[in-house]
């Protein structure tokens, strides 16, 4: 499945916390695919690739990195980006998902079945730290033509009767 700009724009503009694709992987396995999660993850990974191309020695504090990522996501059309402190780290939140970057890994929180955190702060373009977003978007055009984000995120849904949908 590929997300072209039209699909990305529709997903980003959707008022729903998640949009699912219901499909079959083979004739027996029914799955649902969380499209907003995949959009969020793909844009985060793309930002990291663009940033690596722009400045391999990028070494800003995590809070600054989150603001730079938020500016990139907002520029790419994602709306309602939030952040919050999470222990010694920060969590960036979009839709029903939060991402925490640690030195060892990237952790994803799924809030679909839970209330959203109460201590999150909406990131507005007006309170962003100035960043060279124009240059990054030029690099993004080059990188996106040669770099593909791939994932196998899908949840089994054999209990769903697709014929009733």
Digit-by-digit pLDDT tens for the chain (165 residues) are 578 889 999 999 999 999 999 888 887 788 999 999 999 999 999 999 999 999 999 888 888 899 999 999 998 999 999 999 999 999 999 999 999 998 888 999 999 989 999 999 999 877 676 777 788 888 988 888 888 888 889 888 876 665 655
Angle (CA) 39 62 129, round 5°: 80
Whole-angstrom distance, CA of residue 25 vs CA of residue 32: 10
List the domain range (segments joined by +) for residue 73: 5-164
Distance of CA 86 to the CA centre of its chain: 18
**Total domains in the fold of the chain:** 1
| Residue 42: predicted pLDDT | 93
Strands laid side by side in the 121-122 sheet: 106-110, 97-101, 89-94, 81-86, 121-122
| Residue 108: predicted pLDDT | 95
């Amino acid at each position: 499945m590929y997300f072209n700009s039209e699909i990305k724009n529709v997903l980003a503009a959707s008022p729903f916390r998640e949009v699912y694709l219901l499909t079959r992987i083979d004739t027996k396995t029914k799955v649902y695919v969380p499209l907003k999660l995949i959009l969020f993850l793909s844009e985060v990974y793309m930002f990291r690739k663009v940033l690596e191309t722009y400045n391999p020695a990028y070494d800003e504090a995590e809070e600054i990195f989150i603001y730079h990522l938020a500016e990139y996501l907002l520029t790419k059309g994602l709306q309602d980006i939030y952040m919050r402190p999470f222990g010694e780290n920060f969590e960036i939140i979009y839709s029903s998902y939060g991402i925490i970057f640690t030195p060892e890994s990237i952790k994803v929180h799924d809030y679909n079945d839970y209330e959203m955190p109460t201590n999150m702060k909406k990131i507005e373009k007006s309170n962003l730290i100035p960043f060279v977003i124009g240059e990054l978007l030029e690099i993004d055009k080059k990188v996106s033509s040669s770099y593909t984000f791939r994932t196998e995120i899908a949840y089994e849904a054999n209990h769903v009767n697709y014929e009733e949908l």
